[in-house]
Amino acid sequence: MKKVAVVTGGNRGIGFGIVKGLCQKYDGAVYLTARDVGRGQAAVAELQKLGLKPNFHQLDVDDQTSIDKFRDYLKEKYVGLDVLVNNVGIAYKHDATEPFGEQAENTIKTNYFSLLNVCHALFPLLRPHARVVNLSSSMGHLLKIPGEELRGRLADPNLTEETLGALMLEFVEAAKRGDHTKLGWGNSAYAVSKVGVSALSFIQQRAFDKDPREDLVVNAVHPGYVDTEMTSHKGPLTIEQGAEAPVYLALLPPGVKSPRGEYVWCNKEITDWVKGPTPSEY
């Protein structure tokens, strides 16, 4: 049975680098997915020029119908799924003029809830030994949340997906009211969204550990500060360097003991998500 790997948001940036790395190293079909068909097919054509053979499928993570169509396609063509890299993410620029409440709502929707919707749709397809990689960030470290009480709630080893979702919505409502900093959330919607992604990864691994399917592994990863459109091309790392840790996690061997349900830095080191310290930015 042919193995299959999927990368969300694969038409540019780190996602494109991850698709490229998987095409070079993975023994199976690799799917570059993108919201825009034209851009996605152009990215595939670019990789084909390098002698690589990615597949393409449209996927808009903010559209449940699109997610469901992709799930049905994978189910019919491959029956299962072996690698899922949740890469899609948005970030408002520092000079964005949208009200902060709007920025918070849109950022949490795409970076947290849409990622969760993809997981809900595709996790039932995961085969034994499947690997899931959730793209977090250096901003996804718990210490990016200033409020001690909030950090305690997020670090609770018994935190559930439902409670975490409620916390994400709490932040959005606080952002709309304008009292988010007073309540301890800090002033970065991107940081809150990526802290959510990190925390979700730990919850997912706990569920995988009880799953009858053998050896399911999920990790959150900070890919590094990469020269992409999202960083306004300020990052010192190339797209290929940013893809290294995510590709490493996507290709963890069967029966791997560690990392499993960890927060992994771009140098592939496991980082203490609760206490830090965080390694260097890159």
Catalytic residues: 190
Alpha helices in the chain (DSSP H): 13-25, 37-48, 64-78, 100-108, 115-122, 148-154, 161-177, 189-209, 239-250
DSSP 35: S
**Tokens encoding 90:** 């948005």
Between strands 29-34 and 4-7, the pairing is parallel
Cis peptide leading into 253, omega within 30 of 0?
no
CA distance 232 to 235: 8
3-state SS class at 183: coil
Residues sharing a CB contact under 8 Å with residue 256, sequence separation 6 or more, in sequence order: 215, 217
CA distance 32 to 20: 9
β-sheet with 29-34: strand ranges across: 55-58, 29-34, 4-7, 81-86, 126-135, 217-221, 263-264
CA distance 222 to 140: 8
**Tokens encoding 18:** 């991850």
Q: Please spell the DSSP secondary structure of 59-110, one letter per residue.
A: --TT-HHHHHHHHHHHHHHHSSEEEEEE-------TT--S-HHHHHHHHHII
